[in-house]
A and B are shown apart, each in its own frame.
Chain A
Amino acid sequence: MMGPRILIVDDEPQLRRALRHALEGHGYAVREAEDGVGALAEFQAFKPDVVLLDLLLPDMGGVDVCRELRQNHQTPIIVLSILGDEQMKIAALDQGADDYLTKPFAIGELLARIRVALRRGSSGRAQQSQIKAGELTIDLERRLVTQRGRAVHLTPTEYSLLKYLATNAGKPLTHQMILRAVWGGEYADDFHVLRTYINQLRSKLEADPANPALILTDPGVGYRFAEPDPIF
């Protein structure tokens, strides 16, 4: 019996071939597409649980594929990019991609990302009433944040920011995504406002704000809240 279904979208036949063997070896059911049109067709036919999406496709941009898929589906999308494609990578995340991996990557890293994506796809953490990360507990019903058992006082904006980050734990969030979600669309370019609030949160929550363990910086992309509990 085959495990979760994965759709590989990449125009490099050799990479697809290696990925297919590696993923099938780990029990996944795999299908391939070499361009955007093929990806959308395979998606309809195969109904994958995770999509691995290359950003450079011969017929259409990976970002466009992301947008198309997101119109009707919540299937996790992991973007495969190359250093130097930062702008496209961020655009893809803004269009709803869940995670990204920079080529070249080790297969173990890809498998870990796939597991995180699958879990997120199945559980919907937004319905949770409580989020735990290390010694931090966020009680979403009572709007209460405790660190090592002691209540932490947060301003309403700080709380909204923390809640947004924590409910998307493990997922890279671009500056614009965070600004839009917490402050609203008109603030989408106020990066320094976001940076200020992130610093405030870190000084209140992190044991060592200079080396954050909860609110991590994703260089060139944005921020990522640490995975609440072990994945493996």
Chain B
Amino acid sequence: MRGFAFLRQRRVGVAATIGSTAILIAALAPFQHKVGLLNEGLLFLLLTLLISSTWGWLVGLFAAVLSNLALNFFFVPPLHRFTVHHPANVFALLLFLLVSVVGGSLLSMARAAARQARRRQAETEVLLSLSRTMIGRTEPHDALIALCQEVVQAFAARGAAVLSGADGSWTLLAFAGVDSAGRQPDTEERAMAGRAVAEGMSVMLGQTGLSTRRRPRIVRPRVPVPRAEEPPRSIAFVPLRVGGRTLGVLRLDGPIGETPFRGHPGRLLAAFASEAALALQRVELAQAAAHADALMQADKMKSALLASISHDLKTPLAGIKTGVSSLLDRSVNWSPEDVQAFLETIDSQADRLNQVISNVLDLNRIEAGAVTPMLKPLRAQDLLEEARARTASATAGRDVRVNVPIEAGVLADESLILQALVNLVENAAKYSTPGGSIRLNGSARGSVVELSVEDDGPGIAPEDIPHVFERFYRAAEHGRRVKGSGLGLAIVKGFVELCGGSVRVESSAAGTRFVVTLPLAEQGTLSA
């Protein structure tokens, strides 16, 4: 169909009219006066009607006039002159003209009506297929892609895309067709999309073949030098409106192909636009729902954090408050030992409070990506000794030993890795039996160093092991709860990973062992 399309063009019709008229004259010439003027007239009328029905009433009118002149010149006496002797022949020629024009018009109207009926039917089929496709897509984004595919198919266009962001922030949501249909809109396209939204109607660039008007609204490209291998740009922007609100535009890359809708895209384009607008609204609603969901998750997380740290914050406060309110109580003459006990409680609990707050802030910093580790060579022995010193009060009454048989150095951030080790030792103290032992070991294995914190407590239940590094996770046995925010091990993992290391846990009924693996520092880099 597409190969013969040019035959429909009007100038082809005019040429065909001239040619066929000449052939008819030549064919009738040998039989002059034998065929009879009436028959000759009828033959020319037939030719005119055929031309009318093929090329429309305008070419048909041209054929009627030409046939009339040919009849007059070649067949009506006096021959080879445009004058007419017999008055009846003048009337016959006028009648011929009238009949051929009216008949041609009626024929071309009937043909146009038939074409329109065919187009309507095709439109209906396309819309039916579109609505079937759209109903089938539950995911709004898929629906938009499917819609673009339908548009490309229906108009045989090069490509179609849906852009959202009627506030000017145009972004591509979905597309179909050639690869270039998936481009993000450039400045010029943004401007045109904006115009389509502002004017509430389609805006076209170049000859898209979409316009319903005789003279399409054509915007001259500001950069009118299309590269040789690319066809000239022709783009249409159709605003997508729902409920009086414009949600985006449909960008159609033309020129569109030879389909029943070429030149008459109005109804179909409007239907596509409203479907696309609805799909776009669904995308918006889905985004709003996702946003609300994310907020809810964040809110849940916040509640979990609050519930979790409230114990950690209030417990040391309870000690502080008891100590301070006792000291303020003048009804008792406190002994120096009492005063000392109160002050020590206040002091240690203030430290503990500070630790809890630091933990929360640390975790926040890890999550915000605000921690920049400064890696440097550190002696394993020094790190473990320091961790033991810092946890002296938390591990009071327990046998804590450091054992690093070899001179090993790790590459890590000193403050981060120390905090991680401190958290591990405190964790060991919290979960193991009072009076038990805690072992801090260091050993080199190939290119890594392992620092481990080992207790002889009851161990971690197998079902809890995969979760111990999760925030707020606290191994909870029936009828028993260990106090703590559940943040400590999450911080260990965060800090160790920031140092380029990893942490794992091994646990049995005989005890639990946390192992921090860090890169080995090169020999000789450790300062004395």
Contact = CB atoms under 8 A, between A and B. Distances in A.
A103 B332 contact: no
Given A25-B338, A56-B311, A107 B483 contact: no
Interface residues of B, number: 33
Most buried by B among A25, A57, A108: A25
A12 B314 contact: no
Which of A18, A19, A25, A83 has most chain B Cβ within 10 Å?
Answer: A18
Given A25-B338, A56-B311, A19 B480 contact: no
Contacts of A110: 322
Given A18-B326, A103-B314, A12 B341 contact: no
Contacts of A25: 326, 329, 332, 334-335, 338
A48 to B, nearest CB: 19
A59 B322 contact: no
A17 interface: yes
A23 B314 CA distance: 21
A218 B317 CA distance: 23
A19 B344 CA distance: 13
Given A17-B345, A21-B342, A104-B320, A59 B326 contact: no
Given A56-B311, A82-B311, A21 B338 contact: yes
Given A61-B480, A82-B314, A18 B322 contact: yes
Interface in B297-330: 307, 310-311, 314-323, 325-326, 329
Given A25-B326, A82-B315, A83-B310, A104 B321 contact: yes
B349 interface: yes
Given A25-B338, A26-B332, A104 B314 contact: yes
A15 B325 contact: no
A108 B325 CA distance: 7
Contact of A19 (B317, B322, B337): B322
Interface range for A: 20 to 34
A195 to B, nearest CB: 27
B326 A107 contact: yes
B113 interface: no
A64 B479 contact: yes
A3 B345 CA distance: 25
A18 B342 contact: yes
Contacts of B348: 14
A82 B310 contact: yes
A15 B319 contact: yes
Interface string B339-353: 001101100110000
Contact of A103 (B307, B315, B341): B315
B465 interface: no
Nearest to A26: B332
A106 B321 contact: yes
A58 interface: yes
A38 to B, nearest CB: 11
Interface in A101-141: 103-108, 110
A21 B326 contact: yes
A84 B307 CA distance: 7
A25 to B, nearest CB: 4
Contacts of B331: 26
Contacts of A80: 318
Contacts of A58: 480, 482
Chain B at the A interface: SS class: helix
B318 A56 contact: no
A144 to B, nearest CB: 42
Contacts of A103: 314-315, 317-318, 321
Query: Which of A22, A58, A106 has the most C-beta atoms of chain B within 10 angstroms of its own C-beta?
Result: A22
Given A61-B480, A84-B307, A108-B325, A15 B318 contact: yes
A60 B477 CA distance: 9
A107 B315 contact: no
Contact of B326 (A22, A57, A60): A22
Contacts of B338: 21-22, 24-25
Q: Most chain-B CB neighbours within 10 Å: which of A14, A60, A84?
A: A14
Nearest to A64: B479
Contact of A18 (B310, B314, B319, B479): B319
B85 interface: no
Interface in A182-212: none
A17 B265 CA distance: 87
Nearest to A61: B479
A60 B479 contact: yes
B325 A106 contact: yes
Given A18-B326, A59-B480, A105 B341 contact: no
Contacts of A108: 325, 329
Interface in A1-46: 11-12, 14-15, 17-19, 21-22, 24-26
A101 B29 CA distance: 126
B311 A14 contact: no
B481 interface: yes
B193 to A, nearest CB: 53
Given A14-B348, A15-B315, A22 B481 contact: no
A8 B319 CA distance: 13
A102 to B, nearest CB: 9
A56 B349 contact: no
Contacts of B315: 12, 15, 82, 103
Contacts of B325: 106-108
B28 to A, nearest CB: 108
Contacts of A60: 479-480
22 contacts: A14-B344, A15-B345, A17-B341, A17-B344, A18-B319, A18-B323, A18-B326, A21-B341, A25-B332, A60-B480, A61-B479, A61-B481, A80-B318, A82-B314, A82-B315, A82-B318, A103-B315, A103-B317, A107-B322, A107-B325, A107-B329, A110-B322
Given A14-B319, A22-B329, A25-B338, 12 more contacts: A12-B315, A15-B345, A25-B329, A26-B331, A60-B480, A61-B480, A82-B310, A103-B314, A103-B317, A104-B318, A107-B326, A107-B329
Interface of A: 11-12, 14-15, 17-19, 21-22, 24-26, 56-61, 64, 80, 82-84, 103-108, 110
Question: Which 6 pairs from chain A and chain B are nearest by CB?
Answer: A104-B321, A103-B318, A106-B325, A22-B326, A104-B318, A25-B332
